[in-house]
């Protein structure tokens, strides 16, 4: 293994490992070492770039999407989807000359995603539909509590509307919940304040990565939760609804269409390309054995 790239989407940053034939068995230890901001490359997660036909979890999607985004959180855990990751993944495919501007499909654990790379530097992803599981859950940070709106974007989210984003505290630790076992698979937690009509700002504590500067699936979850709070439901009115979502790392535009499909638009940037030290990586893998 040698080549890596570094990229980000609204400052949700990733180590990109091109591995078309799936020759690298990326262990959780290796992922965590790559994402370590002091002893590794540094990132919120890893985008392992594999041909769908070469990956057992993606082979069934190979007819629809040539490339599979094998996404891992910074702690090495696997997640179903990463919205910012898909945009950065598409930007990498363009950077590497595998695709040009326009439409492409990317296989993910959350299914095949339709992606459009535009001329102005933005990328739009069809994120699928949100579901809002029932549940009476309270989010707690320090002495404050809020009711959670549960939203699944393929991965789980708990959205809390707060008076001030500072009330989410340092977010060094994950928020707690009542009931304590509300999310046995873990959850991404979004804190939201209003900024104007169909315009909000948010912070997020991500499962497996801690507080990040952006979360694409989180922004989609927030747009849907806020729309319902505002009495807007495209499935009922037939009119699409768009929210601007400000995150610490930039802005994402989220549109929910009348058929329930959600589109996310934002930037994606490749910032560096390099070679991993073979001995370092071998040592990391050895630790895991």
- Segment interacting with ligand LBFN2T5F (CB under 6 A) among 15-23, 53-61, 212-220, 281-289: 212-220
| CA dihedral of residues 57, 268, 265, 64 (deg, nearest 10) | -30
Active site residues: 82, 215
Show contacts with ligand LBFN2T5F in window 185-204 (CB under 6 A): 188
Examine residue 12 and tell whether it contacts ligand LBFN2T5F (CB under 6 A).
yes
Question: Contact at 8 Å (CB) between 161 and 202?
Answer: no
Burial, 101: exposed, middle or buried (Cβ in 10 Å; 0-12, 13-18, 19+)?
A: exposed
CB of 139 to ligand LBFN2T5F, least distance (A): 16
- Segment interacting with ligand LBFN2T5F (CB under 6 A) among 48-56, 81-89, 109-117, 223-231: 81-89
Instruction: Round to whole Å and give the CA distance between 116 and 100.
Output: 10
Chain position carrying tokens 């893998």? 285
Show contacts with ligand LBFN2T5F in window 227-286 (CB under 6 A): none
Kindly tell me which of 40 and 218 has the beta carbon lying closer to ligand LBFN2T5F: 218
217 is in an annotated binding site: yes
- Segment interacting with ligand LBFN2T5F (CB under 6 A) among 33-41, 53-61, 75-83, 265-273: 75-83
CB of 7 to ligand LBFN2T5F, least distance (A): 12
Maximum C-alpha span of the chain = 59
Residue 282's Cα: distance from chain center in Å? 28
Q: CA neighbours within 13 Å on the CB side: how many for 136?
A: 0
Q: E strands, 148-209, where?
A: 149-152, 156-161, 176-178, 188-196, 199-206
Q: Is 211 helix (H, G, I), strand (E, B) or coil?
A: strand
CB of 135 to ligand LBFN2T5F, least distance (A): 17
Binding residues for substrate, as ranges, are: 12, 73, 83-84, 155, 188, 206-207, 216-217
- The site for ligand LBFN2T5F (CB under 6 A) is made up of 12, 73, 79, 82-85, 155, 188, 206-209, 212, 215-218
């Amino acid at each position: 293994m040698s080549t890596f790239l570094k990229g980000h989407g609204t400052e949700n940053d990733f180590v990109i490992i091109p591995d078309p034939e799936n020759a690298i068995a990326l262990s959780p230890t290796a992922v965590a070492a790559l994402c370590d901001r002091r002893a590794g490359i540094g990132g919120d997660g890893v985008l392992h770039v594999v041909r769908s036909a070469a990956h057992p979890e993606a082979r069934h999607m190979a007819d629809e999407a040539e490339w599979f985004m094998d996404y891992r959180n910074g702690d090495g855990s696997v997640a179903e989807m990463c919205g910012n990751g898909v945009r950065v993944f598409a930007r990498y495919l363009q950077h590497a000359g595998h695709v040009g501007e326009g439409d492409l499909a990317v296989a993910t654990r959350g299914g095949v995603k339709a992606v459009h790379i535009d001329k102005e530097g933005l990328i739009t992803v069809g994120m699928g539909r949100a579901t809002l599981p029932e549940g009476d859950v309270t989010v707690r940070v320090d002495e404050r509590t809020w009711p959670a709106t549960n939203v699944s974007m393929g991965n789980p989210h708990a959205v809390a509307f707060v008076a001030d984003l500072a009330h989410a505290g340092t977010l060094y630790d994950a928020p707690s919940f009542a009931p304590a076992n509300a999310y046995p698979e873990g959850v991404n937690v979004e804190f939201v304040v209003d900024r104007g009509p169909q315009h909000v700002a948010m912070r997020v504590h991500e499962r497996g990565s801690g507080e990040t500067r952006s979360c694409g699936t989180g922004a989609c979850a927030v747009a849907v939760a806020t729309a319902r709070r505002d009495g807007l439901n495209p499935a009922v009115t037939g009119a699409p609804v768009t929210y601007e979502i400000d995150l610490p790392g930039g802005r994402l535009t989220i549109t929910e269409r009348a058929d329930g499909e959600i589109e996310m638009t934002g930037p994606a940037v490749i910032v560096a390309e390099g070679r991993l030290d073979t001995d370092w990586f071998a040592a990391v893998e050895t630790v895991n054995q």
